[in-house]
Structure 1
């Protein structure tokens, strides 16, 4: 006999967990309503757990405590501008409007200390919330959020196992069609831990929420990427290999429309590890590194871009100014072509002030991972990067001159979070000792897929044939398309997972409650 749950959530990242939590809360007064969350990996978290820069929110208690006078309208305009005219304005308006409550939900209900703010590229105000170091150790924001929500769901499963079921290692392979159209459940596979035999199961339900993520982690087996953005095949990626776009095919088979599938975000700063430069999976250099004052230099030690421009603009500038043999940053001292070295790369450099602002817990983690290094002064930094010291000094001085004057620099940058040049500091023995710089090498990497299933601001998946909602089918997170348009702002991914995940949970609860009392 097939299993049954009133609501099935497919995908255990932040969007899926938000949907499950909200659905459970909205139906807590109805004992007969059950929720199941199916995750194909061995544990929940997904790409949400890898997010490092933060979650956006306006008019939050954190913004207010710091005297930041942001607005929903400013957030909407920043997001629409970043999307280059392709974003659905209704979806964007809801994202911005609900951002206050989304951050508050995490802070109040789950006691998450989202008390550090940064202004990321393309934003008019500091509105990207992350967690502070704790006892000198980093608190990664994405992992902190999903692990906290995961523990909550684990507690719910233990206390209310009749109402909630979490199944890991469960890969959904089909949506069951309802007799009158719509969805009636899922078919999923598991692998028997003893025999290693694949077993197939079905689970009937009134509502299915798709929260399966994007398709930016296909690695050596491109499918959607090869079909819609073949020019990007072969680039490294920051995604987990599990990000294969499973939900897109599931929804399309039921008649859902796919939108903006060719819009794939290449993040400009994936770390290039000196001991493994050719690894196709890159660890993301958090955008907050630039948001707190980090600068980008080409292989000659010169700046080439406004570091706080949108991700697509920074990536385009890197491809233009950091791809020639002499302008490409590299770990190796050789000028010969090295296949394992990325063909486009830049130096990411933080002054001591920028490092202090970003947080030494996270920087220490990057150092331990072999992704960032230190240099004791400008002379040592120039020698380490193998650039002319006079050129490097002028580059940093020009940055700081524009900062001091409060003007735009030659790249259009008008926000300078910290100085780029370290001051000279006298030591106890009267010698001039320069404080430290922090540096790493970064390369453009596939990061996020803006395209996905078309949905509305009630998280309902829309049919390709007539644009009408598919009964019982909801979606949230990176599996959806139409929200971000041609480019996603940093900090909007975790936010959309919470805003639209919770919306999907509310809508699912409404649907099953209506059916329950019909």
Structure 2
């Protein structure tokens, strides 16, 4: 689906770059040009390119049972399950280090109906989890995939714990957009808390090989359309200045590898692919900042579309509403703004001193609200919390932002108001009103769920404030998969033989916008499922 003038998102004429460098100036000619490019990416690639015929490969350079493209959550989970079953596995990673976005993400993970919830009397259900995801996803999520995650998430958690992943004991996070606390908090504070132990576990398996600076180039298909291998380049060197690693960068030595059982796509999203993301949404111009690592490009996705994979919801791009406009990329402030200020504190318009949204709503709802306040004059809202809240969250979330100066600390709310140019009395009145809502467990303005604040309000000095602006974070769309992580063909409506996918390269799970902590369980679970399927093959 392409964006058209009837898309409700197109009605908000707001800048998407937190640095204010990309005021929306796309005219009709530009839009039609970009829309045509998107159409070409989705529908014409099959005509222009359909993989490499196996008959043209005189001899494969190597042979494995399973070839995995990408070394993040989905790729490592797949490799674990297939490798532990004795399969010969090769992971190809184009970047110089493993992990991709998975290694730098927040790392907390949703798991509905888990043992910690049961022990704490938190009532959850598969149906409630799906309903929460559908609400923020605007109802266009695929419930069958959400149901698969709910059914298998406890198996997924066991898999990573068995590898040595550590969660904060007996703690459930109440993430934005969720109706109840259902997310485990990773001790490491980032996705490295999975990647490092999973990587260590894979290194113990002599039948699993991980190659970095090894860039996937194309699929190799037999006469029946089955994926039987890939072409790739050894010694590849990614160059972010080129913006597209598939068109201009010719580094590396070509090689071929046979995949007896099949190929797993775990290549992540395309938030850093300047051309492809703007083709999907022309408002996201080249200067729009992203939280993703530089290698988050669309090359693997484009090649999958080229061999007939069904595209799903490619134009839905998600912004993360917890970012700071004074630091580039993901930065160090996201966890603080999320868990201290939006989970437990409040956010105000610096011009009025008033709240303007439910701080615990889903990411799309909050990003849209933030952009309206930011407008064209960079009126960045201020997220606020107090000392009691800071002491209640993970202390590591506060340390770096304070050192970097993105979070400011004040003895009084009056000092905070002066520092950020907020009307003083208006802020004091708004904080007092918010504190009253917390005490009464009733947000009369925005109907925020306050039950899990457990009495924490914004009343105990010192006080903390930080500017907030969304950045592009997650690309919702990708290839269509089924409950078995098999990639679906746009031509036959059946699985493409020998091709699996999981994580951000696959679409449908999250719909228009995903809830926090669901991406981690999505990638790990469908990676695990793909690995289980490979393990069963002869």
Do the aligned partners of residues 318 and 111 (structure 1) sit closer, same or farther apart at CA in structure 2, a change above 3 Å counting? closer
Equivalent of residue 172 in structure 1, options 202, 216, 219: 216
Aligned to 1:154: 203
How far apart in 1 are the matches of 2:507 and 2:251?
35
Q: Is the 8 A contact 1:192 1:198 kept in 2?
A: yes
Query: What is the TM-score normalised by the length of structure 1?
Result: 0.84
How far apart in 1 are the matches of 2:366 and 2:220?
43
Matches within 5 A, 1:20-35: 20-25=79-84, 27-28=85-86, 33-35=87-89
> Does residue 324 of structure 2 align to residue 271 of structure 1?
yes
Deviation at 1:141, TM superposition (A): 3.5
> Does residue 271 of structure 2 align to residue 216 of structure 1?
yes
Aligned to 1:306: 358
Do the aligned partners of residues 281 and 378 (structure 1) sit closer, same or farther apart at CA in structure 2, a change above 3 Å counting? closer
How far apart in 2 are the matches of 1:118 and 1:154?
32
> Does residue 143 of structure 2 align to residue 89 of structure 1?
yes
The CA RMSD measured in Å over matched residues stands at 2.0
Unmatched tracts of structure 2, length 5 or more: 1-59, 238-249
How far apart in 1 are the matches of 2:442 and 2:502?
41
How far apart in 2 are the matches of 1:281 and 1:10?
24
Query: What is the TM-score normalised by the length of structure 2?
Result: 0.81
How far apart in 2 are the matches of 1:238 and 1:124?
26
| Structure 1 runs, 4 residues or longer, greater than 3 Å off | 279-284, 289-292
Deviation at 1:131, TM superposition (A): 3.0
Aligned to 2:153: 99
Aligned to 1:205: 259
- Aligned residue pairs: how many? 459
> Does residue 373 of structure 2 align to residue 296 of structure 1?
no
Do the aligned partners of residues 288 and 99 (structure 1) sit closer, same or farther apart at CA in structure 2, a change above 3 Å counting? farther
Q: Is the 8 A contact 1:318 1:346 kept in 2?
A: yes
> Does residue 533 of structure 2 align to residue 498 of structure 1?
no
Deviation at 1:284, TM superposition (A): 6.0
Deviation at 1:283, TM superposition (A): 5.1
> Does residue 117 of structure 2 align to residue 63 of structure 1?
yes
Equivalent of residue 252 in structure 1, options 287, 294, 305: 305
How far apart in 2 are the matches of 1:294 and 1:167?
44
Post-superposition CA distance 1:258-306 (Å, at most 9, x none): 1100011111121222xx5xx4665561333345413212223221110
Q: Is the 8 A contact 1:53 1:490 kept in 2?
A: no
Do the aligned partners of residues 290 and 62 (structure 1) sit closer, same or farther apart at CA in structure 2, a change above 3 Å counting? farther
Post-superposition CA distance 1:6-27 (Å, at most 9, x none): 10011001110011001112x2
Q: Is the 8 A contact 2:383 2:467 kept in 1?
A: yes
Matches within 5 A, 1:386-465: 386-415=421-450, 417=453, 419-423=456-460, 435-465=461-491
Secondary structure (helix, strand or coil) at the match of 2:470 reads strand
Secondary structure (helix, strand or coil) at the match of 2:301 reads helix
Deviation at 1:144, TM superposition (A): 0.9
